[in-house]
Structure 1
Amino acid sequence: MAAGWFYLTCLALGSLGSLCVLFTAYWMRYWRGGFAWDGSLLMFNWHPVLMVAGMVVLYGAASLVYRLPQSWVGPKLPWKLLHTGLHLAAFMLTVLGLFAVFHFHNHQNIANLYSLHSWLGITAVFLFACQWALGFAIFLLPWASAWLRSLLKPIHVFFGTSILFLAMASVISGINEKLFFSLKNSTHPYSQLPSEAVFANCTGMLVVLFGLLVLYVLLASSWKRPEPGTQTDRQPLLRDGE
C-alpha cells in the first residue's frame, strides 16, 4: 500500500509538472505572440517557460531522487550522479531563462532587477548555484570526510527546500507582474479577469500545487532514504513494490 501511494504521488507530480510547463508555454504562445531569440518581446516569452521548467519542475524532480525506494539499496553513487545531473540540467535551463530576460531588457533599454519578483528570482538562482557547487564538492567528490558531510547535510537539505520556496514565490510574483504589465492598458484590464488572466492564474495555482506536493514527499518520514544501518526500518515500502 505504501509503495502504491508513493508511485501514485509520483504520477501526480509528473502530470502536474508537465501541465505547469505546457500551460506556461501555451500562455506565451496563444496570448503573448509566441517565441523568438532576437531581443524582442517574443524573446522575453522564453523566460517564464524556461524558469518554470528549470527552477520549479526539473529542480523539484531532482530533489526527489533519494525518495525513490530503488535508491535505498545498492551503490549510492549512481543516484548521486542522477541527482547532480538533473540539478545541472535545471540550472542550465535557468541560465537560459535569465539570459532571455536580461537580453530583452538590455535590447529594449529596460532596467534590470528593480522589482520584488526579480529580487526573489535572482536570490533563488544565486543560492541554487552555491547549493549545486557545495553539493558537488562535498557530497559527490570523494575527498570530504563523513564527519564533514554529516555536518553539512542538514544545511544542504534546508537550502534545497528554501530554494524551491523562493522559486515558487518568484514564479507567482512573476505571473502577477506580467499580467499587470500586459493588461493595464487593455480593453479588458486584469481586474475584470479576462480569459488570459484566468488562464495565467490557473497556471500559477498549478505551480503552487506542484511545489506543495514536492514538499509533502520531501517531508514524509516514511519516504526518506534510511540512514546506514536502519535499512530494515524501511523494508515494508520496498516489499510492497516487489
Structure 2
Amino acid sequence: MKNLIKSAGFSDQFILAAIMMYKIFPKLNHDTTKLIHLILHAIAIVLGAVGIYCAFKFHKESGIANLYSLHSWLGIGTISLYGIQWVFGFVAFFYPGADPHVRRGALPWHVLFGLLVYVLTLATAELGLLEKLTFLQNSGLDKYGAEAFLVNFTGLVVALFGAAVVTAAVAPATHVEEPEGYAPIPVN
C-alpha cells in the first residue's frame, strides 16, 4: 500500500495542486483559494501519514528494520516539517488568523518554507526510487535492464517536474493582454 501511495505520487499531486492554486486560478475568490489550498495540503498530509504507516506495517510483517536509510529519515523529517507548516498556515492565515500586518510579514516565509518542504518531498521520493532500485539490483536485476531504465527515467521526470513547479511558483505573475480585436466566442 505504501508503495502504491508513494509511487503513484498521490500525496505529491495534492501538494503540487495546493502550491499552484494561487497561480492557476488568480481570479478565484481569495478566501475560496485559501480554503482549497488548505484542504489539498491536509489531504497530502493524511496520504503521507498513511504511506508512512504502511511502510512501518510492511517492515514489521516482513521482519525488516525501520528507519535504517536516509530515505526513511528524510521522509519522517519531511512529513513532520510539513505538519508544522500546515498548522502554522492554518493558525496564521485561516483560523483564527493573525493580524493583517503579521500575515503580510509571515507570507514570504510561509511560501519559502513551503517550497523547501516541497523540495524535501522530491528528495525523499528520489531517495526512495534509488533505494528500491538498489534492492532490485542486489537481487539480480540487470543494471541496464528495462526496470532500471524505468526507475532512472522516473527519477529524472520527478526532478524536472519539481524544478518546473518551483520555478512557476516563484515566477512573478504576468498579465497577458488580449490581442487587439480579439473577442471570446460567446457560449450560450
Question: Common fold, TM-score beyond 0.5?
Answer: yes
CA distance in 1, matches of 2:122, 2:36: 23
Q: Report what 2:161 is aligned to.
A: 210
Q: Report what 1:112 is aligned to.
A: 66
Summarize the Cα distance change of 1:165–1:143 in structure 2 as closer, same or farther, 3 Å threshold.
Answer: closer
- The 5 A counterparts of 1:11-50 are 43-49=1-7
Specify which of 102, 105, 110 is matched with residue 156 of structure 1.
110
Q: Report what 2:150 is aligned to.
A: 199
Q: CA deviation at 1:163?
A: 0.8
3-state DSSP of counterpart to 2:102:
helix
Summarize the Cα distance change of 1:143–1:90 in structure 2 as closer, same or farther, 3 Å threshold.
Answer: closer
3-state DSSP of counterpart to 1:110:
coil
Q: Given the alignment of the two structures, is residue 237 of structure 1 paired with residue 176 of structure 2, yes or no?
A: yes
Q: Given the alignment of the two structures, is residue 76 of structure 1 paired with residue 30 of structure 2, yes or no?
A: yes
Q: Report what 2:50 is aligned to.
A: 96
Q: CA deviation at 1:98?
A: 1.0
Q: Report what 1:132 is aligned to.
A: 86
CA distance in 1, matches of 2:3, 2:78: 20
Q: Is the 8 A contact 2:14 2:41 kept in 1?
A: yes
CA distance in 1, matches of 2:176, 2:85: 30
Instruction: Give every structure 1 segment of 4 or more consecutive aligned residues whose post-TM-superposition deviation is greater than 6 Å.
Output: none
3-state DSSP of counterpart to 1:222:
coil
Report Cα offsets for 1:130-186 as digits up to 9, x if no partner.
111111111012441012212221221111110111111111111011111122131
Q: What's the C-alpha RMSD, in Å, of the aligned pairs?
A: 2.1
Q: Is the 8 A contact 2:2 2:52 kept in 1?
A: no
With normalisation by structure 1, the TM-score equals 0.68
With normalisation by structure 2, the TM-score equals 0.87
